[in-house]
Amino acid sequence: AATDWKNSNWECLDSPIIVMPPKNHKSKPSSIFLDLLKIVVILALIANFGCCATAETKTDEVTFEPMSCEWMQHCSKKKEGTPPLLIISSDGFAHDYLNEEDTPNILKIAECGSQAEHLIPSFPVKTFSNHYTIATGLYPSNNGVVDNRFWTTEGAEFDQTNGSFFNGEPIWNTVVKNGKVAKVMMWMGSYDSINGIAATFHHNKYSKVSSIEKLENVTDWLISDSPPDLAMVYIQDPDEAGHHYGPGTKEVRDSTKKVDRHIRYIFEKLHK
């Protein structure tokens, strides 16, 4: 189908959108790449990456009108060529955090697009391991990232900014190898080149930046005159609140709501 893409026009949100996980079921993380989807919202039930308290106000005070599927799929700006793929990972987002009150927008995206019936994380259920599993389709035992923190048998401590610790081919490298553009916002494995190839745009290290700043910049890539073919963004909410306060607390619900509003905000921006 690759040859057809070049000549086809696309509207920014006119094809399936997928929300993962919820519901109770099992699938391989890599299966998300088997479908040609434009937006993949991965609500990752991944633990142990507590960090980064930052003030975020932009979307917190805004009340958005409910989205309709028609509005979500409408796009005023037509572009030529391959539609971009946007992958958002929201860390520590347990499947039962989804409900009408806290996450109406994510549920609406699922309703208008599609929703995975099931997903199981790879072992160990750690942020670094699983994010690199999503990027490569390889289990941690093969992708090299066997924990958030570990030492090699030679005694070298894992350094996420050193590409030599990472095995396999992350999806952004596949994109680059095919002559396309991949921009990655702080996804595990993206900070250095791997086997001599790196994402077209990436940061050199993780830094404590608010979720909304990351999402804003990624949305700016997409609405620019030359959007990337692949955009990936990792956001640390609501994992941090989950570590500090635990599921069911006001803090976790506030953080979950914030993610939902941020994602809504992306849609608003894409429609401008």
Backbone angles phi, psi at 142, to 5 degrees: -105, -25
Q: Determine the distance from the C-alpha atom of residue 262 to the mean position of all C-alpha atoms in its chain, rounded to a whole number.
A: 13
User: Restricting to residues 142-181, which ones interact with ligand NAG according to CB under 6 A?
Assistant: 156, 162, 164
Peptide bond preceding 247 in cis form (omega within 30 of 0): no
Q: By CB under 6 A, is residue 195 in contact with ligand NAG?
A: no
Closest CA to 89 of 129, 41, 132, 124: 41
Identify the residue among 69, 107, 120, 209 touching ligand NAG (CB under 6 A): 209
Annotated active-site residue 63? The verdict is no
Please identify which of the residues 59, 82, 127, 219 carries the catalytic annotation. 127
From 128-136, 209-217, 234-242, 263-271, give the range in contact with ligand NAG by CB under 6 A: 209-217
68 vs 162 by CB, closer to ligand NAG: 162
Query: Is 214 or 262 the residue whose CB approaches ligand NAG more closely?
Result: 214
Pick between residue 52 and residue 209 the one whose CB is nearest to ligand NAG: 209
Q: Output Rg (C-alpha) for the chain, integer angstroms.
A: 18
Letters for 100-139 (x = contact with ligand NAG by CB under 6 A, - = none) are ----------------------------------------
d(CA 18, CA 70): 16
Segment near ligand NAG (CB under 6 A); pick from 6-14, 107-115, 206-214, 254-262: 206-214
- CA-to-CA distance for 197 and 265, rounded, in angstroms? 33
Instruction: Please state, in angstroms and rounded to a whole number, the distance separating the CA atoms of residues 8 and 75.
Output: 15
Per CB under 6 A, the segment of 34-42, 44-52, 171-179, 210-218 that binds ligand NAG is 210-218
**Peptide linkage before 83 cis (omega within 30 of 0):** no
213 or 251: CB nearest ligand NAG: 213
Q: Is the CA virtual torsion 73, 257, 262, 62 positive or negative? A: positive
How many beta carbons lie within 10 A of that of residue 118, not counting itself?
A: 13
Least distance from C-beta 123 to ligand NAG, angstroms? 24
Q: Is 217 in the site for ligand NAG (CB under 6 A)?
A: yes
Give me the torsion for CA of 26, 28, 34, 36, rounded to 10°: 60
From 42-50, 59-67, 127-135, 208-216, span contacting ligand NAG (CB under 6 A)? 208-216
By the 8 A CB rule, do 20 and 37 touch?
no
The footprint of ligand NAG (CB under 6 A) covers 156, 162, 164, 209, 213-214, 217
- Indicate which residues carry an active-site annotation: 127
